[in-house]
Amino acid sequence: MFPHYVKGSNVENYIQVEEQATLFGSGLVALGNQPGQETFIGIFSQNRPEWAVTDIACMHYSMISVPFYNTVDIRACDRIITQTNMETIVCDTLEKADRLRVEHSALRSLKTLIVMDLPTEGVGEQKAAFEAEGLKLVSFDDVISCGVKNVVDRVLPKPETINTLVYTSGTTGLPKGVPHTHKTLIATHAYAWQTLSEEVSPGRNDRTISYLPLPHVYERSSLHICMMTGTQYGFFQGDPLKLIDDIQALKPTAFGAVPRVLNRVYDRVMSNVNASSLTKRTLFNLAYKQKSKSLARGEKRTDTIWDKLVFTKIRSQLGGRIKFICSAAAPLAPETAQFLRVTITRNFFEAYGQTEAPVIAHTVPHDVTSGHVGIPGGDSQIKLIDVPELDYYSNNDQGEVCVKGSHVFNGYYRDPEMTSQVLDGDGWLRTGDIGRWNKNGTLAIIDRKKDIFKLSQGVYIAPEKIENFYLREPLVAQAFVTGDSSKDCLVGIMVPDQEELEKFAKKQNIPGCFEELCQNEKVKATIFSRMMKHGKAEGLVGFEQVKGIHIHSKPFSEAEGLLTPTLKSKRNVMHQVFAEEIDEMYSEIDREAKRLK
């Protein structure tokens, strides 16, 4: 089922979607796109049913789908279109098609732009403008109509046929094309299915909500598994600020998320608990303690007295029907994982993977421990290799995670140089993540080799680990920690949690709106002091603590180009955007050091 809230809660079943995909694929062929592996069809759209129809149409005719992230810039567009010699792109809005038209001189292979929501008013003038640039503008519905008149027999793929070319979201530079064959994706779905026990296996009466970007293999796998099982697959409206409204309207039973989303749920609930009366805090803590004990005993009930008195209210924030949660894309804080199991559902899973190998490891249903990503999935083989510069050695069960298996890609598209940096001759993929084998056989991700840098005194810094510690402080909503080899200390850009900061300011009688509070020196000193206290409690040593911070009032966002679609920081872009603030913090640190001398 495809509930679609953008178009008035339309519902389509999978048979209708398959029929539409055949007609749309036939229409693509009629427009000059030949079936087979030489044809690349771009999908530049927000999550919606037409996205899935386009993707399935490509499968029916052995074409290669190439999804674009919503916030892709023109440099990345140019790279993708040029590398693939792409002629056709399917867009959701005329605005996106117009962006490509304006840059058409740099996108020489492009010939046809198909728009899902093409306005009927003024369409003649719009088509003429595109034709003047040598482009054909066609509506999505017109392609289907063309397919109705020219139905083409399917050209079905083989296991080794490339299904999709997924370009990485580019945290470290230009995106790289990751080809996934039908074989690798089927292996991925099999691994994901393996994580589910019989009691949470999704079916026709279950539903999920699609809000994470479909170009990402995590959400793409969710779509395909829902199709395999008949699970209802709903789409959010497209506005992140209205996501909670969409969730409460759809009432999903399965919920996939990234850690940043789940951590905010945890932080918000705990903040409200801590601000509540002594009676309510005592009741929550007692309920949490008792439910934790029942989980440890293997009990699965969600109808205890504690659920009815306390946790039902928390579940209602996510629609009230959640029976399965999966977290992926980055490690999740152990206390958040335990919170989700206690307050929402015992069936919480954590998966570990990346674009090049979608499911490397996953937790299992009977394990309610936290702080790890479980065991190898399917036929995955995992080994840890030494990273001596960071003092990680495999004989200590620590090192860079390397993986091999049916789901691992065979190399970046037309980029042998980058391929040689991550894939060896025996098929082992170097993930860039630092892992640790636990005594119970599970894998923990403890560091990120790709983001690590060195300070002037020779020590190595893992900024993401430090950021995650600072984010446990309620006043901090977002954090960016940085430094370089010419400096001996770290600095940070911090975005406060607006609700928490305004509560703090009211208690302290500090006047001003949110933007003014972010410029207040007392506020800055308080946030810095709490960060230092929190970092010390988490075990950060002196050189891992920031020595200066800048308070930024505007949240980091994907739209601003600061975050990837899975909400990870684009560190190179962050450095450029905040270069002036970073330089000023170091200058202030230097002035203070001279004054103390």
Q: Is 219 helix (H, G, I), strand (E, B) or coil?
A: helix
How far, in Å, CA of 525 to CA of 310, rounded?
A: 36
For the chain, the domain total comes to: 3
Which is nearest to 435 in space by CA: 425, 427, 426, 445?
445
Residues 6 or more apart whose Cβ sits within 8 Å of residue 344: 311, 314, 315, 318, 322, 325
- The residue type found at 320 is G
CATH value at residue 534: 3.30.300.30
How far, in Å, CA of 319 to CA of 380, rounded?
A: 35
What digits encode the pLDDT tens for the residues 452-506? 888 887 788 889 889 988 998 999 999 999 998 888 999 999 999 999 999 999 9
Mean pLDDT of 223-245: 89
Question: For the residues of 269-325, what is the DSSP string, one character each?
Answer: HHHHHHTS-HHHHHHHHHHHHHHHHHHHTT---S-SHHIIIIIHHHHHTTTS---EE
Looking at 346, 361, 391, which one is the last position of a domain?
Answer: 346
Residue 520 is assigned to a structural domain of this protein: yes
How far, in Å, CA of 409 to CA of 505, rounded?
A: 51
218 with 318, same domain? yes
Residue 575 is assigned to a structural domain of this protein: yes
145 with 235, same domain? no
pLDDT attached to residue 597: 66
Confidence band (pLDDT; 50, 70, 90) for 9? very low
- Number of Cβ within 10 Å of residue 441's Cβ equals 10
Decide if 163 contacts 66 (C-beta within 8 A). no
pLDDT attached to residue 199: 65
CA 237 to chain centre: 18
219 with 308, same domain? yes
112 with 40, same domain? yes
11 with 153, same domain? yes
Mean pLDDT of 58-79: 92
Residue 124 is assigned to a structural domain of this protein: yes
Residue 526 is assigned to a structural domain of this protein: yes
For 103, counting Cβ atoms within 10 Å of its Cβ (0-12 exposed, 13-18 middle, 19+ buried), the class is middle
Asked if pLDDT for residue 7 goes beyond 70, the answer is no
pLDDT attached to residue 6: 34
pLDDT attached to residue 2: 45
What digits encode the pLDDT tens for the residues 509-541? 999 999 999 999 999 999 999 999 989 988 898
Looking at 135, 157, 179, which one is the last position of a domain?
Answer: 157
How far, in Å, CA of 42 to CA of 165, rounded?
A: 10
pLDDT attached to residue 4: 40
Indicate the pTM of the whole model.
0.86
Residue 202 is assigned to a structural domain of this protein: yes
pLDDT attached to residue 197: 63
Mean pLDDT of 375-399: 92
What digits encode the pLDDT tens for the residues 311-356? 999 999 899 999 999 998 888 888 899 999 999 999 999 999 999 9
CATH value at residue 282: 3.40.50
Mean pLDDT of 285-299: 92
Asked if pLDDT for residue 91 goes beyond 50, the answer is yes
**The two three-digit tokens of residue 416, written as one number:** 């042998």
147 with 85, same domain? yes
Across the beta sheet with 476-482, the strand order is 476-482, 490-496, 546-551
- The residue type found at 115 is V
63 with 119, same domain? yes
Residue 536 is assigned to a structural domain of this protein: yes
What DSSP state is assigned to residue 2? Answer: -
Alpha helices, H only, 364-422: 416-422
Residues spanned by the domain of 332: 198-346
91 with 205, same domain? no
Query: 24-33, 154-163, 332-341: which range is least confident on average?
Result: 332-341
Sign of dihedral through CA atoms 516, 519, 522, 526? positive
**The two three-digit tokens of residue 304, written as one number:** 């205890």
Mean pLDDT of 372-396: 92
Confidence band (pLDDT; 50, 70, 90) for 11? low
Residues 6 or more apart whose Cβ sits within 8 Å of residue 119: 94, 126
Confidence band (pLDDT; 50, 70, 90) for 3? very low
Mean pLDDT of 195-221: 86
Residue 178 is assigned to a structural domain of this protein: no
What digits encode the pLDDT tens for the residues 555-591? 998 888 898 877 888 888 899 999 999 999 999 998 8
pLDDT attached to residue 75: 83
Decide if 428 contacts 414 (C-beta within 8 A). no
334's enclosing H/E stretch is: helix 334-343
Asked if pLDDT for residue 73 goes beyond 70, the answer is yes
127 with 233, same domain? no
CATH value at residue 35: 3.40.50.980
Mean pLDDT of 156-175: 84
Confidence band (pLDDT; 50, 70, 90) for 300? confident
Asked if pLDDT for residue 1 goes beyond 60, the answer is no
128 with 205, same domain? no
pLDDT attached to residue 198: 60
Angle formed by the axes of helices 334-343 and 259-274, nearest 10°: 70
Please provide the average confidence, as pLDDT, over all residues in the chain.
90
Looking at 346, 361, 393, which one is the last position of a domain?
Answer: 346
113 with 56, same domain? yes
128 with 207, same domain? no
Residue 136 is assigned to a structural domain of this protein: yes
Asked if pLDDT for residue 303 goes beyond 80, the answer is yes
